[in-house]
Amino acid sequence: MKMLILDDDPAMGALVRRIAERIGFVADAVTRAVDFRAACEASPPELVVLDLQIGEEDGIEQLRYLADNGYRVPIILISGHDRRVLGTARQLGGALGLDIIDALNKPLRAADLRATLERVGSTLRPLSPQVLLEAIRDDQFRLEYQPIVSRNPRKVLKLEALVRWNHPSRGLIPPDQFIPMAELHAEVIDALTEWVVREAAHDYHVLREKNLAVPIAVNVSAVNLHRLDFPDRMHAIVQGARIPDGEFSFEITEGTATRDPTQMMDVLGRLRLKGIDLSIDDFGMGYSSLLQLRQLPYSELKIDKSFIMDVTRSRDSLAVVRSVIDLARNMDMISIAEGVETEETAVLVESLGATGLQGYLIGRPMGIEQVAIWLRDWMIPVSA
Ligand code: C2E
Ligand code: CA
Ligand code: CA
């Protein structure tokens, strides 16, 4: 990200530049308006920091220059005058169609400037594997839990942990927008999966202390299975967190790329031996499902929500759902219908013999505090 600073005090320019560079900007500082314009023309900046008093000239003229020449960059204003001058310049900038994102008073507080630059930086900065890794280290993720239940007998089978990125400037980002990128780099998806397993293990105990212990399912990417030590690393976390056997399971989405089947058998087999149950996620969407079912130690099958969501309207979906539930039963596997949104759908898939239901009808993904409340309510039904 390129940033250009105009301040007639070279020490000030250097200070701003140092702070900006530490955040990841490529910064250039000039002291004269003529150099400022030359720099803009040579290579348009992506962010401008402008001092309103620059020797003979004034910053307002530079604002007009930027507007007249069509530079639509975000601008941070700095001024030693009182707040009113800054306010006026800000209004003028707005009237000229410029994007004045902040106005800071001199003497400049480094912390203020850093906060502003960080905020701008993260909105300008595209999401990248590096940004993701930093976010994992900064604990910017959170988990939500969605219940999976059977209604007859009435039982909460488990909670599925679903990750969200609580980005400091973009807000909550859904997993579909960053998991595919994380999967491009094994070390990124490995770090994320480890974070999720640790956090879920912590939350398991939060619920247990409230007498609401429920098994937890975590989503694992096929990329995670590339490393032979994956079962050992996961087992170490689960055991270190004192999670009883059988209380943690993994949902694995079948990868589209051809995986090494011997490696899959090795890794998945050892996960099972270490007390972690395995579920095949989004069943029906990949091409290798049937082969995987025969070869790999899954104990549960989740029918993709695209089939469930129109099972009451489409004869084809109905045929698929019925066959998959039969297949699971014949292989002594549990079958879960995900994406159950209506009572009609729930009744239908129950009548076909699905073991468990998951979907907005039962409960949406919720934060840990909210899920505790949900669990209490659900276990004591009003109608019972
Ligand atoms: P998934 O594993 O198939 O998870 C189910 C998704 O369906 C969730 O979306 C959930 O919010 C949504 N859903 C649940 N019930 C309903 C319903 O009744 N109707 C509709 N329309 N949608 C429903 P979410 O949370 O956005 O997650 C999307 C995907 O991201 C997940 O699909 C999973 O593949 C992936 N994912 C989530 N968390 C993780 C994680 O920690 N690690 C990995 N590797 N992938 C994750
Ligand atoms: Ca899943
Ligand atoms: Ca799914």
pLDDT given at position 261: 79
Q: Is 175 in the pocket of ligand 1 (CB under 6 A)?
A: yes
Ligand 2 mean position, distance from CA 281 (Å): 6
List beta partners, residue 301.
280, 335
CA distance 337 to 325: 9
CA 317 to chain centre: 31
Cα–Cα nearest to 203, from 236, 172, 158:
158
In a mutational test of the pocket of ligand 1, which residue from 144, 219, 237, 340 has the highest number of ligand atoms less than 8 Å from its CB? 219
In the block, tokens 């989004």 appear at 282
Q: Is 79 in the pocket of ligand 1 (CB under 6 A)?
A: no
Distances from the Cα of 144 to the Cα of 157, 177, 200, 291, 313, angstroms: 16, 16, 10, 32, 30
Pairing of the two strands 154-167 and 171-173:
antiparallel
pLDDT given at position 71: 87
CA 231 to chain centre: 24
Atom 8 (ligand 1): residue with closest C-alpha? 162
Cα–Cα nearest to 32, from 11, 63, 7:
7
- Asked if 277 contacts 249 with a C-beta cutoff of 8 angstroms, the reply is yes
Which ligand is nearest the CA of 176, by number? 1
SS3 category, 262? helix
CA distance 134 to 182: 12
In a mutational test of the pocket of ligand 1, which residue from 143, 179, 190, 360 has the highest number of ligand atoms less than 8 Å from its CB? 179
In a mutational test of the pocket of ligand 1, which residue from 158, 189, 338 has the highest number of ligand atoms less than 8 Å from its CB? 338
Rounded average pLDDT per 10-residue block, the chain, 384 residues: 91 92 88 93 91 81 91 88 82 87 87 87 77 93 98 96 88 89 92 98 97 96 92 97 95 70 90 95 77 87 95 96 96 97 98 98 98 93 58
Ligand 2 mean position, distance from CA 198 (Å): 17
Q: Which distant-in-sequence residues (6+ apart) come within 8 Å of 87 by Cβ?
A: 103
pLDDT given at position 34: 93
**For 88-105, what is each residue's pLDDT tens digit?**
888 888 888 888 888 888
pLDDT given at position 101: 87
Ligand 1 mean position, distance from CA 162 (Å): 6
Neighbours of ion ligand 3 (CB under 5 A): 281-282
pLDDT given at position 331: 94
In a mutational test of the pocket of ligand 1, which residue from 142, 149, 162 has the highest number of ligand atoms less than 8 Å from its CB? 162
SS3 category, 80? coil
Instruction: Spell out the domains of the chain, with CATH numbers in brackets.
Output: 2-124 (3.40.50.2300), 129-378 (3.20.20.450)
Q: Is 194 in the pocket of ligand 1 (CB under 6 A)?
A: no
Ligand 2 mean position, distance from CA 275 (Å): 19
Q: Is the dihedral of CA 358, 179, 238, 265 positive or negative?
A: positive
Atom 21 (ligand 1): residue with closest C-alpha? 339
- Asked if 251 contacts 162 with a C-beta cutoff of 8 angstroms, the reply is no
